Amino acid sequence: MSTVNNSGRALPWALVTPALGWTLLFFVLPFIAMGFSSLTAHEGGGFTFANYSQFFTDPSYWRAMVNSLQVTAIVTVVSVLLAYPFAWILAEQVPERWQRLALMVAVLPFWTSYVVRSYSWLLVLAQNGVINRTLTGLGLTAEPLQLANTRFATVTGFVHFFVMLLTLTIFANLKQLSPSYRKAAADLGAGPVRTFLHVVLPLTLPGIMVGAFLTFVLCIGDYITPQILGGNNELLMPQLVMMQIGRRGDFPLASALSIILMAVVTVAYLACARWLKIERA
Amino acid sequence: MRQIVRIASWIYAVTVYGFIFLPVIVLVLFSLQATSFPIPPFTGPSLRWYDAVLSDTRLTSALVNSLIVAILSSAAAVTLGFLSAWGFARFTLPSSALLRGLITLPLTVSYLIIGMGLLVLFNWAGLPKSLLAAGIGHVVINLPLCFAIIYSQMGDHQINIERAARDLGAPEWKVLLLITVPVMAPAIFASFFLSMTFSWDEFVISFLLTRFDTTLPVEIWNLLRSGLNPKTNAVGSLVFAVSIVLVVLFELTLLRRKPA
């Protein structure tokens, strides 16, 4: 991008300083405050590492991180496996002029309120909700199944959201693929299955991984879905963080747990970035 | 073979559409329930729960709060994002890449952690919980988005128009207001509406940073404590309707750019 350099120094800085200042004041500074807070004692306020050591020594805290990682891993894998064929059908089987509409319809529920979407799943999965009433009505089960307030419910709520998100990213990926690759594969004698496995799939893999990473980041930091659908039977990390603030007003411990959560995401990012060679645009 | 793939594709697509729409259909259907529980059998249609929502002043004032926070925070985010995008796209600044990275950095951090940080900061600074605090948080999450969208749309052909205006003697502020803003209008509107939808739907930052006056998602959250309730369905359906309007506006502003 070409730039002009004939103006004085003052104007460009006047343009970018408000945004930079805002980011420093309300993003970087809070982060520093959280770092300091995490190193102070809840009672008395002296310097301490206790908030961090509590996480590593108390098994129930540690458990929340394990739960979070398990749920996130299950959600990411299931969402990708469900979304890929769906995106492929939209991109390959649906006539060109209907594709935009098909995609818009598919992501329509995406735009309901996030809180409401989780609540809607509660309606479906509750003890006397739609699924259980249908099952008992058809005589398939005698007793209603325990679907709500379980890990299954949390995973279902998450998968619902991320199938929509991943369908968008994978669809975009499939469309960007030049048709000449497929033509070349066909010319060289590959059937549709081989073309897909050896040409289409490898070429869309980087896009899938970016989508999967986005799923990981958004999923592991979310409080609403596990709180509404999973309940308090098993805690995930965001629930643990919110619990420190809500019940006990323990900001230092909540800060420490937030920083640990962010560290895990950062490690995942660095691992992914190296493995996938994601370059910042 | 091709026929089998076609049929299998149809079945799969219909199943996924069913999965995607199941909760929304259940939500809207049972918002029209005539009795007190949003569970089968369906007893409606009845608009009594919409009536209940619209006469609930806590919900209606939360709705107004949400709209005000969404509009003002989006306007602030777009203004800051546009000015900085213009600055970075048109002028050579030292360590420009690093500074642009700083502005987009909040995109990589979860809302929970951004909200926690602001809570700790405001708590130390002695600032009370308020809608203003939540609005500040919403600008933090939307500024990088607006910046990224507008910055990515600032191309070379626009520079030439600006250069022509300068050559004809327009001062910088006139170039900005009469040339750049109109030329960039689609990107500006798109980022504004996108920010509105994110702010409108945002829960955790508002939950952490507001107390008595709060936004609609937080008020809906409070409703959930009473368990399954058709009133919650009715609010949810109304929110859905508003979001759809915002999305359609967003689509229209994006489409307006297409013919060019």
Q: How confident is the model at residue A2 (pLDDT cuts 50, 70, 90)?
A: very low
Closest-CA distance of chain B to residue A249, Å: 11
Report CB contact under 8 Å: A223, B38: no
Q: Is A89–B13 a contact, with Cβ atoms under 8 angstroms apart?
A: yes
Task: Report, as an integer, the average pLDDT of A110-116.
Answer: 82
| Closest Cβ opposite residue A7 in set B91, B228, B244 | B91
User: In the predicted model, what is the mean pLDDT of residues A107-134?
Assistant: 84
- In terms of phi and psi (left: phi > 0; alpha: psi -120 to 50; beta: otherwise), the region of A139 is left
Which stretch, A65-74, A209-218, B237-246, has highest mean pLDDT?
Answer: A65-74
* Chain A neighbors of B155, CB-CB under 8 A: 1
Q: Identify the pLDDT of residue A74.
A: 95
- Indicate if the pLDDT at residue B49 is higher than 90: no
**Residue holding tokens 């929304």?**
B24
pLDDT at A6 over 70: no
- Per-residue pLDDT, averaged over B41-50, amounts to 78
Q: Is residue B104 pLDDT above 50, yes or no?
A: yes
Q: Answer yes or no: is pLDDT of A7 > 60.
A: no
Least confident range of A153-157, A181-185, B132-136: A181-185
Helix (H, G, I), strand (E, B) or coil at A133: helix
Q: Do A116 and B235 touch, CB atoms closer than 8 A? A: yes
Find the CB nearest B103 among A20, A134, A163.
Answer: A20
Place of tokens 């961090």: A52
- The answer to whether the CB of A159 falls within 8 A of the CB of B69 is no
Task: Select the residue of A30, A120, A128 nearest B117 (Cβ to Cβ).
Answer: A30
A27–B114 C-beta distance less than 8 A: yes
Sequence ranges of the domains in chain B: 47-257
Amino acid letter, A243:
M
pLDDT recorded at residue A26: 94
Query: What is the predicted pLDDT for the residue at A275?
Result: 57
What percentage of chain B exceeds 90 in pLDDT? 32
Band (pLDDT 50/70/90 cuts) for residue A278 is very low
pLDDT (average), residues B29-40: 77
pLDDT tens column, A236-277:
999 999 998 887 788 899 999 999 999 988 888 787 776 555
Cβ pair B156:A33 closer than 8 A: no
| pLDDT tens for each residue of B191-236 | 898 898 889 889 999 999 998 889 999 988 988 887 788 888 888 8
Question: For chain A, what is the largest distance between any 2 Cα atoms, rounded to a whole number of angstroms?
Answer: 80
Tokens of B211: 């107390």
**Is pLDDT of B40 > 80?**
no
Contacts of A68 in chain B (CB under 8 A): none
Whats the size of chain A, residue-wise?
A: 281
Higher local confidence (pLDDT), A108 or A224: A224
Q: How confident is the model at residue A92, as a pLDDT?
A: 83
Of A19, A28, A33, the CB nearest to B124: A33
pLDDT score recorded for residue A67: 92
How distant is the Cα of B133 from the closest Cα of chain A, in angstroms? 10
Rg of chain B on CA atoms, in Å: 23
pLDDT per residue as tens digits for the range B164-178: 888 888 888 888 888
Domains within chain A, CATH numbers bracketed: 17-276 (1.10.3720.10)
**Mean of per-residue pLDDT scores for chain A:** 85
In chain A, the percentage of residues whose pLDDT exceeds 90 is 32
pLDDT on residue A281:
37
pLDDT band at A35 (very low <50, low <70, confident <90, very high): very high
Interchain pair A124, B22: CB under 8 A: yes
pLDDT of residue A250: 87
Angle at B138 between CA B136 and CA B141, to 5 degrees: 115
Across the interface, whether the CB atoms of B216 and A113 are under 8 A apart is answered yes
Task: Decide which of 1.10.3720.10, 3.30.1360.20, 3.40.930.10, 3.40.50.720 is the CATH code for B47-257.
Answer: 1.10.3720.10
Q: Is the pLDDT of residue B4 over 60?
A: yes
The interface pTM score, or ipTM, of the predicted complex is 0.84
Beta bridge partners of A4: B91
Quick: pLDDT tens for A161-217.
Answer: 999 889 988 888 888 877 788 788 888 888 878 888 888 888 888 778 888 888 888
- Determine the residue of chain B that is closest to A265 in CA distance: B109
CB contact under 8 A, A123 and B12: no
> Which chain B residue has its CA at the smallest distance from A237's CA?
B112
Q: What is the pLDDT of residue A152?
A: 92
Write down the residue that tokens 């990088």 correspond to.
B144
pLDDT value at B107 more than 60? yes
The token pair that represents B167 in the structure block? 């050559």
Instruction: Determine the distance from the C-alpha atom of residue A30 to the mean position of all C-alpha atoms in its chain, rounded to a whole number.
Output: 23
Pairwise CA distance, residues B149 & B147, whole Å: 6
- Taking CB atoms and an 8 Å limit, are A37 and B83 in contact across chains? no
If you measure CA to CA, which chain B residue comes closest to A259?
Answer: B113
Residue B2 pLDDT > 90: no
How many Å apart are CA A102 and CA A109, to the nearest integer? 13
Is pLDDT of A8 > 70?
no
Interface test with B, best of A38, A99, A113 (most B CBs within 10 A): A113
